[in-house]
A and B are shown apart, each in its own frame.
Chain A
Amino acid sequence: AQSVTQPDIHITVSEGASLELRCNYSYGATPYLFWYVQSPGQGLQLLLKYFSGDTLVQGIKGFEAEFKRSQSSFNLRKPSVHWSDAAEYFCAVGAVTGFQKLVFGTGTRLLVSP
C-alpha cells in the first residue's frame, strides 16, 4: 500500500535561513507527489506538484521540491524563510486504487524564529 513518511514532526528555522522539509514515499509505480501547506485554522493549500518530467519543480511562495527516485524522496526547500511561512506542511502521494486518492504524511510543523 502507498504510504508517506515525514520524519520531522517539528522544525524551527530562523527567519531568513534556508529550509528543507523531508518526505519519503512508498509506491510501486511512478508517483504523483504533492506538497500542501496548512496555516493555523485554515484549509490546505497546494504548494507544488510533481507528475513527470523535470525532477525539480517550482511552486508558489518561493518553494521548490526535488523528486529523487533512487531515494524515494520528495523534499521541500525554500532558500529564505519568512515569518509567514510558519505553518503545517503535508507531503502527499497520489495513489491509483480503482480511482485516484491522496495519501498524506503526518505533517511537519514549521516554526520560524526571529
Chain B
Amino acid sequence: DTAVSQTPKYLVTQMGNDKSIKCEQNLGHDTMYWYKQDSKKFLKIMFSYNNKELIINETVPNRFSPKSPDKAHLNLHINSLELGDSAVYFCASSQESSSPYEQYFGPGTRLTVT
C-alpha cells in the first residue's frame, strides 16, 4: 500500500504551458505539504494545508496554486511554466496533532520545462 502517492512521476512540458501534479495520502493525516527540490538537492517548503485550510504559503510565485479538495488530496497547479520551474516536487503528509513535524514523503514528480 502506497502511503503518499504522486502523479505523474515525470512531466516534460514546454514553457508557457499549464500543468497539474496530484498527490494523495492514505495515512489519515490531517496536514499535507508541497516541497520543491532544486538541481542542487535543496529542499524547500512551498505550501502546507491542514484540514483543507492553507496554513503555510512561502514565497512562491502566484503562478503556483495548491488545491485541497479533501484531507487526503493536495494538488499543485502551475500556470505559465518557466524554465526555472524545472525541479522535483515532493508531496508530504503528517498528523500534526499527534506527531508534529513527522512527515511522510511521496516519491516525487520530476518536472522538466523546455
Contact = CB atoms under 8 A, between A and B. Distances in A.
Interface of A: 32, 34, 36, 38, 41-46, 49, 88, 90, 92, 94, 98-102, 104, 106-107, 109
B49 to A, nearest CB: 10
Interface of B: 4, 33, 40-45, 48, 50, 55-56, 90, 92, 96, 100-108
Contacts of A45: 105
Nearest to A106: B42
Contact of B41 (A41, A42, A100, A107): A107
Nearest to A90: B43
Contacts of A94: 100-101
Contacts, number: 58
A101 B41 CA distance: 18
**Chain A at the B interface: mostly helix, strand, loop or mixed?**
strand
B103 A102 contact: yes
A25 to B, nearest CB: 13
A104 B44 contact: yes
Contact of A102 (B40, B45, B50, B106): B45
B48 A44 contact: no
Contacts of A107: 41-43
A32 B100 contact: yes
